[in-house]
Amino acid sequence: MTLPQNCATCGKSLEDRQPPTCPRCKTLYCGSDCQRADWKAGHKKICKAIAEEGGAAQRHANEKAAAAVAALLKERAAPAKTACRLCKKTTTDEFVAVWCEKCQTKDRLAHASCLAKYAARVAEGVDDFRGWERCKGCTQEFTGAAKVAAARLCWKEYASRDESDQLRCWAAEALGCALYADGQYEDARDTFLAHLKVIKSAGVNWQDTETPLAMTRENLAKCAHALGRLDELLAMRREMYAETQAKHFVTDQRTIDAALNLASALLSSDETEEAQKFCRETLRKLKRGCPPNDVRVVTLTCALAQTLYDPAAEDRDYLMSDVQEAETLLMEAFQASRQAFGSDHPQTARVRQELDAVRAARKGDAVDGSKLERGPIVLDKPNDRDEKTIDSID
Helix axes 320-341, 295-308, angle to 10 degrees: 160
Q: How far is Cα 155 from Cα 305, in angstroms, rounded to an integer?
A: 44
CA distances from 179 to 216, 267, 301, 394 (A): 14, 27, 34, 11
Q: How far is Cα 54 from Cα 63, in angstroms, rounded to an integer?
A: 12
- Quickly list H helices, the chain: 32-38, 44-52, 56-76, 112-123, 130-133, 144-158, 166-181, 185-202, 210-226, 230-247, 253-268, 272-289, 295-308, 320-341, 346-363
pLDDT of residue 64: 93
β-sheet bridge partners, residue 97:
77, 110
CB 217 within 8 A of CB 199: no
CB 263 within 8 A of CB 305: no
pLDDT of residue 154: 95
Contacts of 241 (CB under 8 A, 6+ apart): 255, 258, 259, 261, 262
Cβ atoms within 10 Å, residue 120: 16
Local structure of 2: helix, strand or coil: coil
CA distances from 391 to 37, 177, 215, 387 (A): 43, 9, 11, 12
CB 245 within 8 A of CB 257: no
pLDDT of residue 128: 74
pLDDT of residue 380: 32
| CATH number at 248-371 | 1.25.40.10
CA distances from 112 to 82, 209, 223 (A): 14, 33, 28
Q: How far is Cα 28 from Cα 57, in angstroms, rounded to an integer?
A: 9
pLDDT of residue 16: 56
Vertex 346, ends 344 and 347: CA angle to 5°? 110
φ, ψ dihedrals at 391, nearest 5°:
-60, -35
pLDDT of residue 5: 67
User: Which H or E run includes 97?
Assistant: strand 97-98
Q: In the chain, where does the domain assigned CATH 1.25.40.10 lie?
A: 248-371
pLDDT of residue 375: 53
Q: How far is Cα 20 from Cα 29, in angstroms, rounded to an integer?
A: 6
CB 137 within 8 A of CB 106: yes
- pLDDT tens-digit profile, the chain (394 residues): 455 667 777 767 676 566 778 888 888 888 888 888 888 888 878 888 888 888 888 888 999 999 999 999 999 999 988 999 999 998 778 899 999 988 888 889 999 999 999 999 988 866 678 889 999 889 899 999 999 999 999 999 999 888 888 889 899 999 999 999 999 999 999 999 989 988 888 776 777 788 888 899 999 999 999 999 999 999 999 999 999 999 988 888 888 889 989 988 998 888 989 999 999 999 998 888 888 888 888 888 988 998 998 877 766 777 888 889 999 999 999 999 898 888 888 888 888 988 998 888 888 777 666 666 655 443 333 333 344 444 433 3
